[in-house]
Chain A
């Protein structure tokens, strides 16, 4: 085996280097032209052969070991680099700064960018800091978006009910591009109404990520539907395949500081460590299979041939909130940009929703349940209401499931608002106190 140096395709950049390589390769090949080096095409010996080859590779991998061809200067440079380098991250198991082969497993793999890219914690912190400066200068924050039931709803074709069969013929006709039958999977996907406007407007205020519990393939297929021109997400699409923890989402793969990240998701439990960043979304259940999954026995939107409202649906509502937060963060806060915290802004806005309400619960929590820990109690407090267990004149609302309880009857007698628990949830999703008459208890009885 030899290098054909007269070959026209040989494109050496320096003759010395070529000579060096020639030497290196020849010294190996002299020993290697025996029978065992020959490749078999049936894969029989391939494994052991590959291993042998990789071992041999090592010897040409590190040319600085044979110093004869390298100038002293180069060697000095290489050795000082070796001492100084902090090895901030790795690509293909090589240091991204000095190129050295490193096989340690520290750091976080950014598989959504490249499966071979891994960064150390210091490097991640450094990137977050520089990126944040860059972003704040452009008046942008970070927004992490869930897919299923937040931006869209998908169903397997086999789960379509007979009342949904009509959808099959509608996928092609929709020019707007909201209902898709995927070629690559036996699935149908419905984008949530308003999602195109939402993404367009949110992208002016936020650098956006997708973070889904779906797998890589699903995530990129959905990203194509939502962002066909690749304007919004670039490579920032994270699926469960790249997630650093099972069944949990986190901000460790998001290159933004936690104080400037907002999250939209319909599943609170997915973000156990980041509740302060989370805006909980009302679930978008378009397909019947999705309604069943969450235990609703009613007809789905698809079966009723209807949909969420565009101008005042969940995405339009939350966009208004995002605008408000963005506005306060950049235009109203007085402290230095670097110490502003979007979580604080979110909290403040949320506290306005039920401000001034004093709530008593009746027949809402299971007996012996620690009232302050119940989701409705916490939700009401986050919305700025005061919760109490004592009946007194300052109470404004009694939230109850039963009109016959003592507290409910007290509410009627004292002319206090008597509402179902849904009143709190609606306020939470709509970011506004809802008319109490829409949630009155007697209305349930009448139905």
Chain B
């Protein structure tokens, strides 16, 4: 799920960046440091959308670096148990399949793939229904339900299932 929230961060800036472009430099550094990273609590920071406030700088003794408290708005992404997600399949094997939704890595075990879908090995391994009408393979888009999440400092892992109504393939690259 996406959230639009306000976060705060203490930014340290080298004195060479001071001057007319101080604010721009601060924001550029903030984007570089924060976007695309994960925080255990908020999830994955997708993008910074605005700056709320830049507080007074504090000079650090000895170094000349200055610390600015910056409040910024950003879009974060964090999966929750029970949430329905759309994801792209990255790898299919006999244990199940792996899929990604942005930074989130999801594993769907073959226990949680409908029983009428069977694993087919070969150079493009896949799960297919007996009549061949539905196929899950690499690059397929699937709708799945999250049944477990773990958000690390740098990575987000989920357990997913497609063994439920309205879940499964929504777009098969091979059939288009």
Interface on A for B, CB 8 Å cutoff?
A: 1-4, 7, 9-13, 17, 21, 37-42, 50, 53-54, 56-57, 61, 63, 88-89, 91-101, 110, 113-114, 116-117, 119, 127, 130-131, 134-135, 138, 140, 207, 229-232, 234-235, 255
Contact stretch, chosen from B17-25, B74-82, B128-136: B74-82
A10 and B4 in contact (CB under 8 A), knowing A50-B40, A99-B159? yes
Contact, CB under 8 Å: B111 / A88: yes
Query: Which 9 pairs, one residue from A and one from B, show the smallest C-beta to C-beta distance?
Result: A99-B148, A92-B157, A99-B147, A7-B4, A96-B109, A91-B107, A94-B148, A4-B4, A99-B159
Cβ-based interface call for B33 (8 A): yes
Contact, CB under 8 Å: A234 / B123: yes
Given contacts A12-B1, A114-B107, A207-B121, 13 further A-B contacts (CB under 8 A): A4-B4, A4-B5, A38-B10, A38-B69, A39-B7, A41-B11, A53-B40, A53-B41, A63-B81, A95-B159, A100-B148, A116-B157, A135-B121
Q: Which residues of chain B from 120 to 158 have any CB-CB distance to chain A below 8 Å in the complex?
A: 121, 123, 125, 146-151, 153, 157-158
Report B-chain residues with C-beta under 8 Å of the C-beta of A117: 95, 107
Contact, CB under 8 Å: B112 / A97: yes
Report B-chain residues with C-beta under 8 Å of the C-beta of A11: 1-2
Contact with A57, one of B5, B91, B151 (Cβ below 8 angstroms): B151
Contact, CB under 8 Å: A96 / B9: no
Report A-chain residues with C-beta under 8 Å of the C-beta of B105: 92, 114, 116
Contact with A114, one of B83, B98, B112, B121 (Cβ below 8 angstroms): B98
Contact, CB under 8 Å: B94 / A131: yes
Contact with A91, one of B12, B119, B157 (Cβ below 8 angstroms): B157
Q: Which residues of chain B from 59 to 110 have any CB-CB distance to chain A below 8 Å in the complex?
A: 67, 69, 75, 80-84, 91, 93-96, 98, 105, 107, 109
A63 and B109 in contact (CB under 8 A), knowing A95-B159, A234-B123? no
Contact, CB under 8 Å: A231 / B112: no
Contact with B9, one of A38, A57, A232 (Cβ below 8 angstroms): A38
Contact, CB under 8 Å: B40 / A57: yes
Contact, CB under 8 Å: A3 / B8: no
Report B-chain residues with C-beta under 8 Å of the C-beta of A135: 121
Q: Which of A3, A40, A91 has the largest count of B CB atoms less than 10 A from its CB?
A: A91
Report A-chain residues with C-beta under 8 Å of the C-beta of B3: 3-4, 7, 10
Contact, CB under 8 Å: A17 / B150: no
Report A-chain residues with C-beta under 8 Å of the C-beta of B75: 7, 9
Report B-chain residues with C-beta under 8 Å of the C-beta of A41: 9-12, 29, 33
Bound complex: CA A12 to CA B77 (Å): 12
Interface on B for A, CB 8 Å cutoff?
A: 1-12, 29, 33, 39-41, 67, 69, 75, 80-84, 91, 93-96, 98, 105, 107, 109, 111-112, 118-119, 121, 123, 125, 146-151, 153, 157-159
Bound complex: CA A12 to CA B82 (Å): 12
Contact, CB under 8 Å: A21 / B1: yes
Chain A to chain B contacts (Cβ below 8 Å), 13 pairs: A1-B5, A10-B3, A13-B1, A38-B69, A41-B9, A53-B41, A56-B41, A57-B40, A91-B109, A92-B158, A97-B112, A119-B95, A134-B121
Chain B binding surface SS class: strand
Q: Which of B1, B3, B118 has the largest count of A CB atoms less than 10 A from its CB?
A: B3
Question: Which partner residue on chain A sits nearest B80 by CB separation?
Answer: A21
Contact with B10, one of A39, A99, A113, A134 (Cβ below 8 angstroms): A39
Contact, CB under 8 Å: A95 / B148: yes
Contact with A2, one of B5, B95, B119, B158 (Cβ below 8 angstroms): B5
Report A-chain residues with C-beta under 8 Å of the C-beta of B96: 96
What distance in Å separates the Cβ of B147 from its nearest Cβ neighbour in chain A?
A: 3
Report A-chain residues with C-beta under 8 Å of the C-beta of B8: 37-39
Contact, CB under 8 Å: B94 / A127: yes
Contact, CB under 8 Å: B2 / A9: yes
Question: Which partner residue on chain A sits nearest B9 by CB separation?
Answer: A39
Report B-chain residues with C-beta under 8 Å of the C-beta of A40: 9-10, 12, 67
Bound complex: CA A1 to CA B8 (Å): 10
Contact, CB under 8 Å: B4 / A9: yes
Bound complex: CA A93 to CA B9 (Å): 30
Report A-chain residues with C-beta under 8 Å of the C-beta of B149: 61, 94
Report B-chain residues with C-beta under 8 Å of the C-beta of A53: 39-41
Contact with B109, one of A9, A10, A97 (Cβ below 8 angstroms): A97
Contact, CB under 8 Å: B33 / A134: no
Report A-chain residues with C-beta under 8 Å of the C-beta of B2: 9-11
Bound complex: CA A42 to CA B65 (Å): 11
Report B-chain residues with C-beta under 8 Å of the C-beta of A234: 93, 123, 125
Question: Which partner residue on chain B sits nearest A62 by CB separation?
Answer: B81
A96 and B107 in contact (CB under 8 A), knowing A114-B98, A234-B125? yes
Q: Which of A57, A88, A96, A117 has the largest count of B CB atoms less than 10 A from its CB?
A: A96
Bound complex: CA A165 to CA B9 (Å): 56
Contact, CB under 8 Å: A54 / B84: no
Contact with B123, one of A94, A114, A130, A232 (Cβ below 8 angstroms): A232
Report A-chain residues with C-beta under 8 Å of the C-beta of B95: 89, 110, 113, 117, 119, 127, 255
Report B-chain residues with C-beta under 8 Å of the C-beta of A114: 91, 98, 105, 107
Q: Which of A9, A40, A110 has the largest count of B CB atoms less than 10 A from its CB?
A: A9
Question: Which partner residue on chain A sits nearest B33 by CB separation?
Answer: A41
Contact with B153, one of A50, A88, A98, A116 (Cβ below 8 angstroms): A50
Contact, CB under 8 Å: A92 / B150: yes
